[in-house]
Amino acid sequence: MKCRSALSTPRVRFGRVALTAALTLAAILPGAGLSGPQQSILPPDAAARPFLEGRSLVEKGRYREAIPKLEEALATGHETPRESFGTSRHAVDFYDPHYWLGRALMELGEDARALPHLRASAAGGQFPDRRETEDRARRIAELESREAARRPPPAREPTPAAVATPTTAPAVPTPEPRVPEPTPFVRSAATPSPLPLATVPPSLLQPSPVPPRLAGAVAALSAGDFEEVAARVRAERQRTPEARELDLLEAVALGSRYVVEGRRDPALLTTARQSLAAFRRKGGSARAEAALLSPGLRTLLEPR
């Protein structure tokens, strides 16, 4: 009988160790053999938990804290909006991480990052009964308007050179006079630089629903002259103290100033919220509010 060589023992032992390691790895990582996209999708609870935390932070105005939570939810591979999501442990009534992440980025002024997320939310499906759908449409339109305003103006077309007229009459008989063709009019390509959203909402470009006597205050608001707005509101309040439009203009001016000045004076925000609440309490027009308050400023001034 031929004996096995002792040199084969380490090889057999190594093979057994390798097989054991492979089986152990397969037991620990059951998805190790899946393709790339399948590996990235984790159980729903892995996305539902950070999504719920991120959405709650956005609603509280803590946008920077919400961003990593919502990015964590998207990293699980669950990106499509759904009306019901998760399990009983982490149940979500409406799951849409792209919308909430885009909203947080827009409130922080990061328009270039916010717009793709809001568009991804819209591409994921339409839910007409959800308030998020209406707000998302307004935000996309607003961001696209800002993006168009930032584009450089088109190159100015050169005006055709004038035809030189001889100084002396020719010796030959003068032909019948001809009416010169009009020089084509070239529209000026100069475009005024857009003001920040917090100073001038895009809706100010439409006919204003406020009374004509407040046109001067609206013009001062569009120019970002908050002191002039305050002076005109004070003067008009002496004549008509119960005019509810004055509360709306004061809320817009103070809230815009709070944003433009880098949120340094919390008292401005507090007074602006009080003025908006007074406007609504007096039965202020929803049309006037929609015309003067951008979605971002309205969210900022909502009572906490």
**What's the average model confidence in pLDDT over 147-151?**
86
Please indicate, yes or no, whether the overall pTM of this predicted structure exceeds 0.75. no
Please tell me the predicted confidence (pLDDT) of residue 180: 57
Give me the residues paired with residue 85 across strands. Answer: 92
Confidence of residue 141 (pLDDT cuts 50, 70, 90): very high
In degrees, rounded to 5, the angle at the alpha carbon of residue 25 between the alpha carbons of residues 23 and 29 is 120
CA distance 25 to 274: 61
Question: Are the beta carbons of 136 and 295 closer than 8 angstroms?
Answer: no
Q: Provide CB contacts within 8 A for 15, sequence distance 6+.
A: none
What's the chain's average pLDDT? Answer: 74
Question: How many residues are present in the chain?
Answer: 304
Cα-Cα-Cα-Cα dihedral sign, residues 256, 257, 262, 263: negative
What are φ and ψ of residue 130, in 5° steps?
-90, 140
pLDDT tens by residue, 166-211: 555 555 666 666 655 655 544 444 444 443 444 445 444 444 455 6
Q: Is residue 224 classed as helix, strand or coil in its secondary structure?
A: coil
**What's the average model confidence in pLDDT over 19-37?**
40
Please tell me the predicted confidence (pLDDT) of residue 62: 95
